[in-house]
Amino acid sequence: MKRFSLIAAVVIAASTLQAAPIELDRAAAAMSGMEASFTHRFTAKGFKTSQIEKGSVVFGDLPRMRWSYASPEKKEFIFDGASSWFYVPSDKQVTVGRVNDARKRELPFLLLGDSAARDKAFTVKQANKNGAVVTTLQPRDKSSVMRTVTVTIAPSTHLISRIDYVDRDGNQTSFEFSGYHRRAATADTFRFTPPAGVQVIRAD
């Protein structure tokens, strides 16, 4: 009986570990072709007051995304899967970078649609809490910029309602999403052509 219980426990544990990433994979698929409003909060370590920004985001096949911040300052983050653009109209400046493995580990959203890279960089644990599926990602590399990433998914829609992460300095960042709706998007949606007079800075 004890041997059977041990075998059963091992089988259950193994199946749980294999099933853990599934909801994240479903979320990545469900979010493709969707637009949502977001609230971005950043709380520096030791502070109770958060910096709050708002805007909208269009998701393609992750990691293709276009983040358009509306307040308190207009700015855009665009990712086409290989390159990224960070544009601040008031500065008349755009920073262009590459979406490499190191960048993906620093920006959790870039990894959610890449199960192989995600599982290589993080250990993944999934649990049901208060009617939501909560997935926690812990970096395998102790020198990682991230300390922990928590993704909350609505099981009825498989859409991410919230993502939280803590960096190695103890700063906390969260994104809350609402108002998901279908949005027609093409490859051009996830690319950026600098307007005339805008300075281009390479971050490679």
Q: Residue 18: its pLDDT value, please?
A: 42
Q: Please give the structure tokens belonging to residue 190.
A: 């996830």
Q: Residue 106: its pLDDT value, please?
A: 81
Q: Residue 54: its pLDDT value, please?
A: 98
Q: Residue 21: its pLDDT value, please?
A: 52
List all residues 6 or more positions away from 120 whose beta carbon is below 8 Å from its beta carbon. Answer: 140
Rounded to 5 degrees, φ, ψ at 84 are: -135, 150
Q: Residue 16: its pLDDT value, please?
A: 35
Please give the class, per CATH, of domain 2-202. Answer: mainly beta
Name the β-bridge partners of 149.
137, 165
Find out whether 183 and 56 touch, Cβ atoms under 8 Å. Answer: no
- Per-residue model confidence as pLDDT tens for the chain (204 residues): 433 333 333 333 333 334 445 899 999 999 999 999 999 999 999 999 999 999 999 999 988 999 999 999 999 999 998 999 999 999 999 999 998 887 877 887 888 888 888 888 899 999 999 999 999 999 999 888 899 999 999 999 999 999 999 999 999 999 999 999 999 999 999 999 999 999 999 987
3-state SS, the chain, equals CHHHHHHHHHHHHHHHHHHCCHHHHHHHHHHCCEEEEEEEEEECCCCCCCEEEEEEEEECCCCCEEEEEEECCCEEEEECCCEEEEEEHHHCEEEEEECCHHHHHHCHHHCCCCHHHHHHHEEEEEEEECCEEEEEEEECCCCCCEEEEEEEEECCCCEEEEEEEEECCCCEEEEEEEEEEECCCCHHHHCCCCCCCCEEEECC
Calculate the dihedral angle through the C-alpha atoms of 67, 68, 72, 73, rounding to the nearest 10 degrees.
Answer: 110
3-state SS, 116-130, equals HHHHHHEEEEEEEEC
Strands 199-202 and 93-98: parallel
